[in-house]
Amino acid sequence: MRAKKVLITGFDAFGNNLINPSGEVVEATTANFSHLEVHKLILPTVFEKSLAILKKEAFFLNPDYIICFGLNEKAQEVNLEVLAHNLNDASIADNEGNCPVNEVIFEGAAATLDSTLPIGEIEDALLAAQIPVAISRDCGRFVCNHVFYGIRHIIEEKKMRAKAGFVHLPSFETMGLSDQVEALEVILAVLNH
C-alpha cells in the first residue's frame, strides 16, 4: 500500500506573541506512521506570501492531505475549523505590515469553502484521547483563514487530490506543548488507516 503524503503547516510568531504554538507543535512532532509520509512547513504570518509558499509546496508534493495549524489565543481547546471565508479583514497587521480590510481573497470565487478533512472522525479521536476539542465555523479573517480558503480554492481550481483543512490551537498557557503535540499526532493517526 502506498504511503499517503501529509503536509502539515504551522506559522511563525506574530503580533505580541514571542512564539507561535502552531509552528512549535509542527516542528516538535516526531510521529512515525506506517502509512503516512509526513512533511512539515512553517509559513510566515504574511497574507500573500504564506499562501504562495504553501501553493508551491503543495504543487511540488501533490499530497493526499494538507493540514494547516494556527494560533487562536482565545481558544480553550483544539478548534477544528469547518468553514473558510473568501475575505481578508484584519484587525492587526501581519508580519510585513499588511492590514487588509474587507478584501476578497479570490474575485468571483465562492463566499465560503468547507474543510475536506474527516472532521467527525478527528473530533471523536481527540475526545477519546481526552483532548479538549471544539468544532468552529469561524476561522477569523486573518492569515489563518487566508491560507485555509486559499489552499482549498487552489485545490478545487487545479483539481488536486488533496483533502485540506485548518486547525486552530490554543496558547501554551491554556494547553501545554506535549498535549498539543499529542493532539496533532491523534489527528495524523486518523489519516493513517
Active site residues: 81, 144, 168
Residue 135, exposed/middle/buried by CB under 10 A (0-12, 13-18, 19+)? middle
**Looking at the DSSP assignment, which residues form a beta bridge with residue 11?**
43
How many C-beta atoms lie closer than 10 Å to residue 122's C-beta?
25
Count Cβ neighbours within 10 Å for each residue of 39-48 and write b for 16 or more, e otherwise: eebbbbbbbb
Q: Percentage helix, strand, coil, to 5, in the chain?
A: 35, 25, 45
Q: How far is CA 125 from the centre of its chain?
A: 18
